[in-house]
């Protein structure tokens, strides 16, 4: 038998015992939020309500293009819009303008030489890129502390990178508020150099943020115990309508406490650029040499991951941020969005209270941002979906943006009916 024939037989035998290179692939169920949205889309009922996916909708329940974004897009299209590769680190003017949004003009100018920045694939990509960097420069790997509850991707991203993730109590389910004592206790007992994921504002999913004085206490422990702050900043300006207000914690850690800090930014929510995947990683280092070296590592890691980031969304965001008229319009757009969401909180609260719905509902107006916990049992959530076609996460987290003047009364009435049913 020739060597060629032997090789052919060997391959045939291997094929018989090895049906696929992917035999060991494990089935994972669909992401709960996207599966929920798919169920909503497929539901033919005219009264259906989607309180699951966190995308802004106007009072007609329709996607809304921000006025500032529309103008920026028209401005770009009116020019010669080339589709060339961006640099590996991304659009330079976008990176600098995004960093200025997070830090404010004064702090940005004072720390400009100690910043390492890189455009990313929205907030998810920014978190992943930051995780890659931390994994490359830290040995041994520290624990990553993540609040409970949190956005599910936090665990998925850092576990996939090999970090040990540890949840810590963040939400007081009984009182429906921030569990500040447990938060402080976790910080004080964590090993030095541990990494903590911090929601800069509009905590997802609870809507409960520390007050400014609480942030100051938290920050001082970070400084005293040499902990590393990693801010997930997906809602700057979208939460309160004021970027400066929403960026308080980031700026306090950088400016007042002089801490090295990571900020993972997304412009999906506050500019409505969901599908454009516009994000930015902003790292504040101790000195300019460290910043330069860190940025070079970000560039190397970005090259190996996505080569270079997409351009169109970054150009839109950069155009908005670089034009004073458009930037002013953006601020007004954020006031519009955050104001409508707050009004939905108030309306839902008032309707639930006025119709004597079982339970206490003050937490709805004490929470902030797009998301909030209703505090309903999984059985009630299931009944709301199956009988009233109201879709929300199993833990009763809702996106307030899914409410509007046409469906809020229906939602409140349905919640009341389901809760009363569960009493019998």
Residues recognised as catalytic: 151, 232, 269
Query: Tokens at residue 115, please?
Result: 């910043």
Whether residue 148 contacts residue 169, with contact meaning beta carbons closer than 8 Å, is answered with yes
CA distance 195 to 222: 10
CA distance 15 to 9: 10
Strands 165-169 and 397-399: unpaired
CA distance 22 to 95: 40
CA distance 45 to 211: 42
Exposed/middle/buried for 18, CB within 10 Å: 0-12, 13-18, 19+? exposed
Residue 311 CB contacts under 8 Å (≥ 6 apart), including other chains: 83, 84, 85, 86, 91
CA distance 405 to 410: 10
CA distance 169 to 179: 7
Query: Tokens at residue 19, please?
Result: 């049906």
């Amino acid at each position: 038998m020739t060597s060629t024939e032997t090789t052919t037989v060997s391959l045939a035998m291997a094929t018989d015992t090895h049906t696929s290179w992917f035999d060991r692939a494990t089935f994972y169920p669909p992401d709960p939020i996207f599966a929920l949205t798919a169920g909503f889309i497929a539901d033919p009922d005219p009264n259906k309500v989607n309180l699951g996916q966190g995308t802004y909708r106007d009072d007609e329940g329709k996607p809304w293009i921000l006025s500032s974004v529309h103008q920026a897009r028209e401005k770009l299209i009116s020019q010669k819009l080339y589709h060339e590769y961006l640099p590996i680190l991304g659009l330079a003017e976008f990176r600098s303008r995004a960093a200025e949004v997070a830090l404010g003009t004064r702090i940005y100018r004072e720390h400009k030489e100690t910043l390492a920045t890189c455009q990313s694939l929205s907030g998810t990509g920014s978190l992943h890129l930051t995780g890659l960097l931390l994994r490359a420069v830290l040995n041994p790997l520290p624990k990553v502390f993540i609040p409970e509850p949190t956005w599910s991707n936090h665990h998925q991203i850092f576990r996939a990178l090999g970090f040990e993730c540890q949840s810590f109590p963040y939400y007081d389910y009984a009182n429906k508020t921030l569990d500040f004592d447990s938060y402080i206790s976790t910080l004080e007992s964590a090993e030095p150099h541990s990494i903590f994921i911090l929601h800069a504002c509009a905590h997802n999913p609870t809507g409960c943020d520390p007050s400014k004085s609480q942030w100051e206490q938290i920050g001082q422990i970070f400084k005293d115990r040499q902990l590393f702050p990693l801010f997930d900043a997906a809602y700057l300006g979208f939460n309160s309508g004021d970027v400066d207000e929403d960026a308080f914690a980031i700026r306090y850690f950088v400016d007042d406490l002089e801490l090295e800090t990571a900020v993972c930014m997304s412009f999906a929510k506050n500019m409505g650029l969901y599908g454009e995947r516009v994000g930015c990683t902003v790292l504040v280092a101790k000195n300019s040499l460290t910043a330069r070296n860190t940025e070079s590592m970000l560039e190397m890691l970005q090259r190996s991951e996505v080569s270079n980031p997409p351009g169109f969304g970054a150009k839109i965001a950069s155009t908005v941020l670089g034009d004073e008229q458009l930037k002013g319009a953006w601020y007004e757009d954020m006031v519009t969005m955050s104001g409508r969401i707050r009004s939905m909180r108030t309306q839902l609260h008032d309707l639930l209270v006025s119709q004597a719905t079982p339970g206490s509902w003050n937490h709805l107006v004490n929470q902030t941002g797009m998301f909030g916990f209703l505090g309903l049992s999984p059985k009630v959530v299931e009944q709301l979906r199956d009988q009233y076609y109201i879709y929300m996460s199993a833990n009763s987290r809702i996106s307030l943006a899914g409410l509007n003047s046409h469906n809020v009364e229906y939602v409140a009435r349905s919640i009341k009916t389901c809760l009363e049913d569960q009493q019998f």
